[in-house]
Structure 1
Amino acid sequence: MKRLYDSVIRDHFDRNEQMLFLSGPRQVGKTTLAKNCSQLTEHFRYLNWDKTQDRALILVGAPSLLNGLPLNALLPRKPIIAFDEIHKYKNWRTLLKGLIDEYKGQLDILVTGSAKLNVFRRGGDSLMGRYFYYRVHPLSVAEINRTTLPTAPISSPQKIDEESFQALFEFGGFPEPFIKQDKKFYQQWQNLRQEQMLREDIRDLAHIQELAQLEMLAIFLQQQVGQLVEYSSLAKKIRVSDQTIRRWMNVLESFYYCFTIKPWSDNISRSLIKQPKVYLWDWSQVQDKGAKVENFVASHLLKAVHFWTDIGFGKYELYFLRDKNKNEVDFLITQDKKPWIMVEVKNSGKEPLSSALHHFQSQLHVPHVFQLAFDLPYVDIDSFSLKKPMIVPAKTFLSQLV
């Protein structure tokens, strides 16, 4: 299936000479995106560090990597070379710096990885200014409907069919299980993906030996989605130190297992909370229905703020709101450090509008304030045309993001 990120890659190489870095969770579709570059040029080379033959070429260096590519010919489209999982090579940054410095303007370079590519700086020279970076997310309501590049952060609403919406919620946004929609396949796929992430990627790159305890932490986090992270409580359950829990949480975030969002405190009277809330990249792993709905929305919002920032629309960030009086709103999106969109999530459209939305809007003057109802049917009205806090179908609101 065509992805939004196919359009990102084409647009990037049309306009820029910098390398393009794509990072995201295992099985999110990065390898398919890389191989799809063969449709952009007659001269394409794909190299995967996990394959022995490709690894041997990479270790030899530039002459072998580029052998046979017409780098000095005038062509409709430059040759493209794609490196998959290259961050597992300790000298990957030095290799890429040498290639881009020597062949800039003659060669387009794509780099993909299942860990955050800014984390594993194992020596070598800085790549500052030599690449643009996109975070690849699972499928979303908007991407199922639209794969063209948006020209602004917010798009017009577009209806998603009910079958696709329910499949997205149940099986998650990773392409294979979403397309197959088969529970047996989903379970097998999920087990293998989890094992590869914990027992291969994290063991080899993060050098964590206590894998059984790390797996326990991953399971506990599934049960605490949408809640404040209590490091000391987790440490007692797993029998490690607070600092170890913090370090392992950072590792799990680096490998796209979970993400945390911090509380927004600027201009909030009686703001005290400092712990983040935690969510999973794969919302299908969440068992509790209410927590799963909240995670589903959180993942859509995170995808939006990452994409809007990566594509250059501005600086967008995701927070939550809570004060000492226990007023709380699930999510706040800031645009260039100013509150922009406030979102409360509910399972049912029958629940009354949260008083906390009015409470925080009076303090922060947020332009767009919504209470999303998961069960309401799609309405073909622009959510962002509303002038006051309103209860809005999740299907409508989420279709206007990315």
Structure 2
Amino acid sequence: MQRYLDACVRADLNKKMVILTGPRQVGKTTLSRQLLSEFKDAQYFNYDVPEHRAVLENRTWNKKSTLLVFDEIHKMRQWKPWLKGVFDGRTDGQSLLVTGSARMDTFRQSGESLAGRYYKLRLHPISVREWCEQTGAAPEDALSHLLQRGGFPEPCLADTDEEAARWRAEYFSDLVREDVLEFSRLQEITTMRLFAELLRSRVGSPLSLASMGRDLAISPGTLKKYLDILEALFIVFTVRPWHRNIARATLQAPKVYFYDTGLVKGDDGVRFENFMACSLLKHVEWQQDALGKEAGLHYIRTKDGAEVDFALSHGDTLTDLVECKLSDAKPHRALLRFAGEWPQARASQVLRGLSHAMDVGPLQIREAAGWLMELSA
């Protein structure tokens, strides 16, 4: 299956090294292997494979290769200066593609900077727009399928719902058991698993680490570290409240969502909100990575409890206000209020089911499938 980043990766490889990150099993290796056939003498190396590791450490790959793909290279000690040396010493016409499932800029690495040598791209799960473009499905059918299966390629393309469910159970277990060891200690895995399990039922609500810490008998500081690890492994992502002062926004409670909507525990409304969050994050990070825009994803909540699910920004200006509903077409009171406070922002009430689009004052009330098709990726 072709992915939405294919053309961008090809174009960027002609200019700089490309660092491609994203959740495990989101399709990075498949994308990389598909590119191999397009380059002369291309080679793929995974640091987790002992034979490949020896080649990487000794730099004994084919010097005439026009494409080198390095997977999970962040697990190498001092990988940044090593990669800088490889890039600076590569032969003419040789392209480098580096992939990894953990956020490569979060690892506490010292040494040389890679500044100016790479383009960063983040691969996301399949969205409504991508599924429609690749399969020819109608937007409504695409949305139903993705809400059922999630956007990761293997369960999305599975023959049956049972196969998808088996994949997901193993995926979540392996993520917590194996990948956490890259960041943490063996004895923390049980606690980390319990924390991740609790997060599955707290999607879409402002997260109180102090409250969860009391429930788990763990300090909020430790839970903050665990949350950082889950983010670094692309298991969850956080959406923080909108505020022009970044420091103030950081101090306020984030909302947590899962990259895999299938992991969410909750009713249809919660799962729909999580899918919307994933779609908006993909839209925003495409704008950041491929277009160089200063885009952001937030939510809005005031001290008196008024809240809108999502807000999109460009620089210090709000561009969109988005409220998610399953079927309630009654204009959302907080969305109306904030649309008046930020008249430059498009205010959209997005419904899972809606017979026809409506405009009520400044509000655009739209059906989700069609609205999602308009996003960038």
Call closer, same or farther: CA 1:104–1:19 in 2, change over 3 Å. Answer: farther
Q: Which residue of structure 2 aligns with residue 330 of structure 1?
A: 309
- Distance in 2 of aligned mates of 1:323 and 1:314: 27
Q: Which residue of structure 1 aligns with residue 46 of structure 2?
A: 48
Task: Report the alpha carbon displacement of residue 330 of structure 1 after superposing the two structures with TM.
Answer: 0.5
Q: Which residue of structure 2 aligns with residue 279 of structure 1?
A: 257
Task: Report the alpha carbon displacement of residue 313 of structure 1 after superposing the two structures with TM.
Answer: 4.4
Of 230, 240, 256, the residue aligned with 2:234 is 256
Residues 57-206 of structure 1 correspond to what in structure 2 (within 5 A)?
57-61=55-59, 64-67=60-63, 69=64, 79-103=66-90, 105-146=92-133, 160-206=138-184
- Distance in 2 of aligned mates of 1:399 and 1:160: 10
Task: Deviation per CA, 1:287-324: give whole Å up to 9, x if none.
Answer: 32111111010110011101101112411001101112
Equivalent residues of 1:115, 1:255 under 8 A apart:
yes
SS at match of 1:65: coil
- Distance in 2 of aligned mates of 1:205 and 1:49: 17
User: For structure 1, which runs of at least 5 residues remain unmatched after alignment?
Assistant: 71-78, 148-157
Task: Deviation per CA, 1:228-273: give whole Å up to 9, x if none.
Answer: 1111111122221110001100110110111111111349xxx999
2:203 is the counterpart of 1:225? yes
- Distance in 1 of aligned mates of 2:353 and 2:6: 32
Equivalent residues of 1:141, 1:398 under 8 A apart:
yes
Q: Which residue of structure 2 aligns with residue 73 of structure 1?
A: none
Call closer, same or farther: CA 1:10–1:273 in 2, change over 3 Å. Answer: closer
Of 346, 363, 366, the residue aligned with 1:392 is 366
Task: Report the alpha carbon displacement of residue 335 of structure 1 after superposing the two structures with TM.
Answer: 1.1
Call closer, same or farther: CA 1:356–1:85 in 2, change over 3 Å. Answer: same
Task: Deviation per CA, 1:200-241: give whole Å up to 9, x if none.
Answer: 111134346311110010011000000011111111222211
- Distance in 2 of aligned mates of 1:396 and 1:238: 42
Residues paired across the two proteins, number: 371
SS at match of 2:89: helix
Name the amino acid aligned to 2:256. V
- TM-score for both structures, normalised by structure 1: 0.87
Equivalent residues of 2:331, 2:360 under 8 A apart:
no
Seq. identity, %: 31
SS at match of 2:142: helix
- Distance in 2 of aligned mates of 1:378 and 1:257: 36
- Distance in 1 of aligned mates of 2:113 and 2:256: 31
SS at match of 1:372: strand
SS at match of 1:26: coil
Name the amino acid aligned to 2:100. G
Equivalent residues of 2:297, 2:313 under 8 A apart:
yes
Call closer, same or farther: CA 1:253–1:273 in 2, change over 3 Å. Answer: closer
- Distance in 2 of aligned mates of 1:132 and 1:166: 34
Equivalent residues of 1:272, 1:323 under 8 A apart:
no
- Distance in 2 of aligned mates of 1:47 and 1:212: 32
Q: Which residue of structure 2 aligns with residue 153 of structure 1?
A: none
SS at match of 1:25: coil
Equivalent residues of 2:261, 2:275 under 8 A apart:
yes
User: For structure 2, which runs of at least 5 residues remain unmatched after alignment?
Assistant: none
- Distance in 2 of aligned mates of 1:118 and 1:266: 25
Equivalent residues of 2:329, 2:365 under 8 A apart:
no
Name the Cα RMSD after superposition: 2.3
- Distance in 2 of aligned mates of 1:159 and 1:56: 45
Name which of structure 1's ranges 4-13 and 296-305 shifts more when overlaid on structure 2.
Answer: 4-13
Q: Which residue of structure 2 aligns with residue 76 of structure 1?
A: none
Task: Report the alpha carbon displacement of residue 159 of structure 1 after superposing the two structures with TM.
Answer: 7.3
SS at match of 1:326: coil
Name the amino acid aligned to 2:8. V
- Distance in 2 of aligned mates of 1:162 and 1:343: 19
Q: Which runs of 4+ in 1 moved over 4 A?
A: none
- Distance in 2 of aligned mates of 1:97 and 1:290: 46
Q: Which residue of structure 2 aligns with residue 316 of structure 1?
A: 295
- Distance in 2 of aligned mates of 1:187 and 1:317: 32
Name the amino acid aligned to 1:40. E
Task: Report the alpha carbon displacement of residue 377 of structure 1 after superposing the two structures with TM.
Answer: 5.7
Q: Which residue of structure 2 aligns with residue 30 of structure 1?
A: 28
SS at match of 1:391: strand
SS at match of 1:66: coil
- TM-score for both structures, normalised by structure 2: 0.92
- Distance in 1 of aligned mates of 2:174 and 2:371: 35
Call closer, same or farther: CA 1:341–1:159 in 2, change over 3 Å. Answer: farther
- Distance in 2 of aligned mates of 1:43 and 1:387: 60
